[in-house]
Chains A and B, each alone.
Chain A
Amino acid sequence: MSGYAELQVTSNFSFLRGASHPEELAATTRALGLTALAVTDRNSLAGIVRAHVAAKEVGLRFVVGVRLDLEEKLSLLAWPSDRAAYGRLTRLLTVGQRRADKGECILRLDDVAEFQEGLILALIPPDGWPDEDFSSRLAALRRRFDGAVYLAAQRRFSRGDRARLNRLAALAHRHGAPMLASNDVLYHHPARKALQDVLTCVREKCTIAEAGFRLTANAERHLKTPEEMLRLFAGHEDAVERTLEVADAARFSLDELRYEYPEEPVPAGLDADAYLERLAWEGAAGRYPAGIPDKVRTTIARELVLIKKLNYARYFLTVNDIVCFARAQDEPILCQGRGSAANSAVCYAIGITAVDPAEIDLLFERFVSEERKEPPDIDVDFEHERREEVIQYIYRRYGREKAGLAATVITYRGRSAVREVGKVMGLSEDTTAALSGIVWGRMSEEMSETRLREAGLDPADPLLRRVLDLSAEITGFPRHLSQHVGGFVLTRERLDETVPIGNAAMEDRTVIEWDKDDIDALGILKVDVLALGMLTCIRKCFSLIEAWYGVKYSLASVPREDASVYDMLCRADSVGVFQVESRAQMNMLPRLKPRSFYDLVIEVAIVRPGPIQGDMVHPYLRRRDGLEPEDYPAPDPRFGHPDELKAVLGRTKGVPLFQEQAMKLAMVAAEFTPGELNELRKAMATFRRRGTIGRLEDKMVRRMIERGYAEDFARRCFNQIKGFGEYGFPESHAASFAHLVYVSAWLKHHYPAVFACGLLNSQPMGFYAPAQIVRDAREHGVEVRPPDTGFSEWDCGLEDALFKREPPPPAPPHKGEGSSPALRLGLRLIDGLKEVDGRQVSEAALPSPLWGGAGGGGSFRRPPTPTLPHKGGGSNDAAPSSPTALHRAGVPVAALERLAAADAFRSSGLDRRQALWEVKALSKAKPLPLFAHAGASDAGADLPVTLPEMPAGEHVVNDYQTLKLSLKAHPMRFLRERALAEGVIDNAALKSLRDARFVTIAGIVLVRQRPGSAKGVVFATLEDEFAVANIVVWPKVLERFRPVVMGARLMLVKGRIQRAGDIIHVVANRIEDRTGWLSLLMAEPKAFASPLARADEVARPGYDLRQPAARHPRNVRIIPKSRDFH
């Protein structure tokens, strides 16, 4: 018998140690003709699934193993001999990881002894001379473990190798621990030595020049052929042959892991299928009180058969159990399912989704294929503020041994790679920053010289080149495991006998070592428990509607297919609406003109990188508008039905828009087998295996041509699939999202005040800042009132429009017009105000609400005092909301200062300046109870001082500084005259001007965007007091005005109007920075009106605004920074 199995291999899942991917190791092992490969990462099994899959692909025997680094400074290799031993190994690692911090593992020899049954062990000798101490350790180990204990021996190509080998052989013989050859592999090919050195430096936090002996002396730790190993172990050939014996004994394979759904949700005495059936029919009856439509009835029946056949019932029940928990809370947590299995009539019936199968034609079978032996996929979105409750429930229900979050492998990406490598190679911090600054997202080959030169770097610099080369190599390497956003793995038996479980960085979270792909590969059930801000918003809106209008809505009961809602969406009036509020979506809406629910499904899916890069948007729109015929290439009649593609693409007019369609295309047109499809899906999802995608392309194109399709069409199809791989959007998700699009649009249309209130109370979420939400609400006729201690709570709320004293009678929902309530902004909008302080203010200042939205949903109230806000006059000390009263109630002075600065004391008769003056006079210390009502203070009576009145412009600027918005006016209003002098027209006027006209506009920069797909074009939005204008800056113009485009807060743009339907852009020709105008708003119009004032002082100019010296940037930063997306 001759051959060799490499049993000691460190992959790059031993972070910062191994320098090769498991896939590379498997492929090379196979190519070198080794018999088997084991991957033994340090106290971790994170890389074994990938290695297992890769080995299977190339037809290599794979041995599961681990290297145990023990507290006793002892290292063992362990390979499980069977399934039971594997379970003990994962439990051992779980014990070690659970007692350590995230990412660490603390193990002792005693632990190994407890779980060692069935494990084949090998002791790793120290690097130096194996002395007597080592000898006695080996002896002790041999005595302690009754199973197989080997002694692993390596050739290091260092001094005295041969003597050391002889010594190890002698020790092995003496203690009866047979010697086992290994090469302690760190990389699959010697060329990876440089990268391994870099990784070592990153780990040791030193530069390559300082690393010294921390680096290995040579590049010998790579995979070697059996012949080479025999030569290196000349005289000890038995040690090489023994590896086969071990590989043979370590029989466990990951294929043996058989996954079982958890039992918990099924009541005792009932079988899962029967239980699900009962729930489904009961639920359906509840959904359709007027009787289940026939179509739905047959669908449910058909689905139940399929579910039973595929044995998915317990999966549905598990998801149902979680959803039921959320619904059963005192304040129910809003949730909605999505994913392949979620779009089924059964899911609608049992309440996992709200997409009515009676209305749209979502075929369950389309998403769950019988051939694919994969678990179905249901993701459930929960309110983002309350998801943690659900997560903790799952841990409670299933126990930490049976439930764990999936991991996410965080890998090196362009920037992080350059930063780490640059540091190791000794680049200065600013060079590294400059270099990583030009690496956007993924590293591309065309990191062209111009980009480097632009950043002030020399492209010819060899060091720089080397850093970039190494960075490219390290890109995609795992750097640590993080928790998946919400993917839960649940099992019937102990989960820790399937995979090691460790601690997450977050408290009370436990995470398994495998990520989503690994779990998929092994067919393990995962339920995604995700957080969605829009659900929080919608739930708050529902609560407000119930309290204010007395109508109760749920996701499923919102009236369907309301034409006025679609009208609104067609106008691109979608600020705040889920998913379709971005600039790109707003451009698409008037073109797509959604008129039905399925149009929304397409709308959600079409503005994605996949369809855009695959160039599918325009063909779809043209076909939709009837400008282009729908055509379906057909195969040669000998090979298939001419309508085979129509069945796949008919719903989307012959253009593939969804991920499922892309897959189906490969299945139908190129007759891919389920196995090949799986391969395709994986090759697309990860660009790790660049090699396979080309092979698959050839395969698909060849087969399509064979079946009679044109080559050009075949290639186009494949490119579309490729575009989808990374960014595709599945139809099943789009359908669930589209439902939320509809519900949020419905809320926005019928209850604009409620919707704005819900959005503001769910911040941060969505695309827009509070300022834009408020602006949009006002444009829709909602009266918005400023935060005020006399009226506002922490959250935003609704108020009777007329300050009526009686609560409004519960009224039927009215269509937006008429007595719409006013929106009172909450104290939460005040910059820097702490939540505790804010809540204390509203508690002290406001009597408890008569009735209101139950908890957190925002509430509404009548004013507590009949006095309406009045201007001027003295402070109304009697009001519980005045600064002095709040101070007495124990609100910290710092918080009162914030409130005063935000002009929140108007109801006490104090404007911003007066309030601040009052607050400033309050003592920092808590008032003594004895003097609390005396109104006296230690400093004696306060003298009345008349402060100059704050000009309106300054008020606005201060509003922006404290609230990031102003209800009083837009800053541009005060600058309009100045702007007119420069020929600036207002943004609202753009609408009435014809295409290609030359215009000058000016405004505050709201958003700057440089989409990666737009070839260096910058999009910006400018806001003035009338409207928002969209600016397009082409690269050439950008080059000339770069500092202005990227830096100005207030911008003046000269350019041409470009109209496309209702969408108007101004293509910039010239851009000027007018940020300086904003500081003009701060200048007092006239000096202090006091008897001291002298005529000549009034005439004298104030201080020089242009003075550059010593002005704090905060004073200059008048308008909040724009939101920039690169």
Chain B
Amino acid sequence: MESGARGLILTACDRLALSRGLKPDERLADARARVPDLASVLAEPERDAAMLLRLARWAERWSPAVMPDAPDGLMLDATGVAHLFGGEAMLIADIKGQCGRLRFTARAAIAGTPPAARALARFSRKAILGPGSEREGLSTLPVEALGLKAETCHTLARLGLKTIGDLCRVPRASLARRFRSDRSGHVLKALDEALGLADCPLRPLAPEPALVVRHCVMDPILTHEGIEAILTLLAQTLSARLADAGHGALRVELKLYRTDASRAVVPAGLSRPSRDPRHLVRLITPRLGEVDLGFGVDAATLEALATAPLDYRQRELDGAPPAGGIELAALTDRIANRPDGGTLSRFRLIESHLPERAESFAAPGFGETPQAPLPPESGAPGAVPARPLVLLDHPEEASVIAAVPDGPPVRFTWRRLSRRVVRADGPERIAPEWWTVPPGASPARLRDYYVVEDEDGRRYWLFREGLYGEGEAVSPRWYVHGLFA
């Protein structure tokens, strides 16, 4: 379903839904009134299109020329292909079988022109139409089979022109005169294309840019230096290919093919797209040391497995890489790709009044969130900062003497040392995040935070959980949560 002007609209129904009488283009509310236990998900046309593209690539197994026919069709140029699969009927059977294996229901047909094949597949049980027999073979199909706009079909039906055969019998001039504009959907053109009277070429998908580069050597290489030299060559070629595509690599793999038909794989990941050959080499080289070259390597490939768009950026005049944090990214990449890798993480700030929820660790790399602001500062200029330098991983309980109900600590004992408070500020009252507690569970208690300074000038961050005199069975408890200095 998708959001439309009339509310949520069904865009597609599965077989079960169809059997219960639901149809696309219906309002979700209406559908639910009839089928209350209807399960629905939001439509994702982009993902559907991506899926169709993947299917089209996959269908290249049958023909080198495949064209996606949005939203739910594929066109294959079967010229000179069918005999490879044992004839046209066998080809169709194979296609249906393979699609069925992927749990797709496929309808397939072969005809002399692409529109004719589409018409057969979608509107007829017949699967194969010999070249030249379109006029006859299609004549009983409805005009909708020509792929015309619904509005045009509707007008044609009102005129009594309901099948392709009906259309064929109308003088061409009369038809041309009445259905010529774009809005009418080029009836004559569609008809001619289907009947093979006008050319209707397929526009197959362009071959995928191969982001694999290969290097072969006559004599097997036995030294790591030799491999490095090949790697440098490969990186330069790959970089050029990437530049052509306007992309940068995010994940690359070096594959070394040994003379004994085994191979070694060295992967590397990047935190932001790059096609700098030197950077790629530097990422892979440190890990070459562990690769066993065996009896020698006679071929190597370098492949960009994942890429992302990357604009070209000019280097500085002195040859330094362009500004903008590239060096830092390069550095993190290098550290993260070290053989003992995975030692890097970075802080992420989360907007939350609760101190321990306000920060978390994340792996370096993509999805950098903008830094969240600190809670609004209300202290005087030059006062102690809002949050301590050190936040204890777990608040540590302390015993405290303080005035009821919400006076600051006067004395407290923490880690077996008793401290006398000479200065204090607070309370800063922080309520629990009610929405994180399941309803019915005992709600978390609020916290009163205090900044206190002891006789030695050390500053602590203490909080009391709960209030005195709340009428609760458990009396409030005190914790030390952080240290300022």
Contacts and interface: CB of A to CB of B under 8 A. Distances in A.
B35 interface: yes
A215 B351 CA distance: 10
Contact of A454 (B36, B381, B428): B36
Interface string A931-946: 0000001011011010
Interface string B416-432: 00000000011111110
A901 B151 CA distance: 12
B322 to A, nearest CB: 34
B292 to A, nearest CB: 50
A943 B171 contact: yes
Interface string A1090-1110: 101000010011111001111
Nearest to A903: B158
A218 B377 contact: no
B344 interface: no
Interface in A143-164: 156-164
A428 B39 CA distance: 13
Interface in B153-168: 153-155, 157-163, 165-166
B391 to A, nearest CB: 15
Contact of B428 (A157, A466, A1087): A157
B69 to A, nearest CB: 12
A617 to B, nearest CB: 29
B414 to A, nearest CB: 21
A1090 B161 CA distance: 13
Nearest to B435: A208
Interface stretch (A125-133, A585-593, A798-806, A845-853): A125-133
A217 interface: yes
Nearest to B380: A163
A209 B357 CA distance: 12
Contact of B440 (A161, A455, A462): A462
B376 A1073 contact: no
B288 interface: no
Contacts of A164: 378-380
Nearest to A426: B435
Given A163-B383, A917-B178, A939-B173, A193 B434 contact: yes
Counting chain A CB atoms within 10 Å of each CB, the highest count among B20, B378, B379, B435 belongs to B435
B201 interface: no
Interface in B127-149: 139-142, 144
A193 B431 contact: yes
A434 interface: yes
Interface in B78-126: 107, 122-123, 125
Contacts of B159: 913, 916-917, 920, 947
A67 interface: no
B446 A218 contact: yes
B178 A920 contact: yes
Interface string A218-241: 111000000000000000000000
A1103 B141 contact: yes
A387 interface: no
A212 interface: yes
A430 interface: yes
Contact of A1102 (B1, B38, B140, B372): B140
Given A217-B375, A454-B36, A1115-B153, A1044 B21 contact: yes
Contacts of A1104: 125
B25 A1046 contact: no
B157 A1082 contact: yes
Nearest to B15: A1108
A912 interface: yes
A1043 B18 contact: no
A1115 B34 contact: no
Contacts of B439: 462, 465-466, 469
A429 B372 CA distance: 27
B429 A127 contact: no
Given A128-B378, A129-B378, A209-B435, A1046 B178 contact: no
Contacts of B179: 920
Nearest to A1111: B144
B174 interface: yes
A916 B155 CA distance: 8
Contact of A942 (B30, B32, B177): B177
Interface string A108-150: 0000000000000000000111010000000000000000000
Given A163-B379, A462-B439, A948 B160 contact: yes
B377 to A, nearest CB: 6
Interface in B29-48: 29-30, 32-42
A913 B449 CA distance: 83
A1081 B440 CA distance: 60
Interface in B429-449: 429-431, 434-435, 438-440, 446, 448-449
B278 interface: no
Interface string A785-798: 00000000000000
Nearest to A210: B351
A437 interface: yes
Nearest to A429: B42
Contact of B380 (A129, A156, A466, A1092): A129
A186 B439 CA distance: 23
Given A159-B425, A454-B37, A1114-B150, A218 B430 contact: yes
B431 A218 contact: yes
A1043 B34 contact: yes
A456 interface: yes
Contacts of B266: none
Contacts of B181: 924
Contacts of B174: 921, 942-943, 945
Interface in A1004-1051: 1042-1047
B428 A158 contact: yes
B425 A160 contact: yes
* Residue among B3, B28, B160, B351 facing the most chain A CB atoms (10 A cut-off): B160
Given A159-B386, A212-B372, A1092-B169, A920 B155 contact: yes
B373 interface: yes
Interface in A919-967: 920-921, 924, 937, 939-940, 942-943, 945, 947-950, 958
Given A920-B178, A945-B170, 18 more contacts: A128-B376, A194-B435, A212-B350, A217-B353, A217-B429, A429-B8, A430-B40, A455-B36, A456-B39, A465-B439, A920-B177, A947-B159, A949-B160, A1047-B30, A1103-B140, A1113-B24, A1113-B26, A1115-B150
Interface of B: 1, 3, 7-8, 18, 20-26, 28-30, 32-42, 107, 122-123, 125, 139-142, 144, 150, 153-155, 157-163, 165-166, 169-171, 173-174, 176-179, 181, 350-353, 372-373, 375-381, 383, 386, 425-431, 434-435, 438-440, 446, 448-449, 451
8 A-B pairs closest in CB distance: A212-B351, A1112-B150, A157-B429, A920-B178, A160-B379, A1043-B34, A218-B429, A1046-B34
15 contacts: A128-B378, A129-B378, A157-B428, A160-B378, A217-B431, A219-B446, A433-B28, A462-B439, A462-B440, A466-B439, A943-B173, A950-B158, A1088-B166, A1113-B25, A1115-B157
Interface of A: 127-129, 131, 156-164, 167, 193-194, 197, 208-213, 215, 217-220, 425, 428-430, 433-434, 437, 454-456, 462, 465-466, 469, 897, 901, 912-913, 916-917, 920-921, 924, 937, 939-940, 942-943, 945, 947-950, 958, 1042-1047, 1073, 1082, 1084, 1087-1088, 1090, 1092, 1097, 1100-1104, 1107-1116
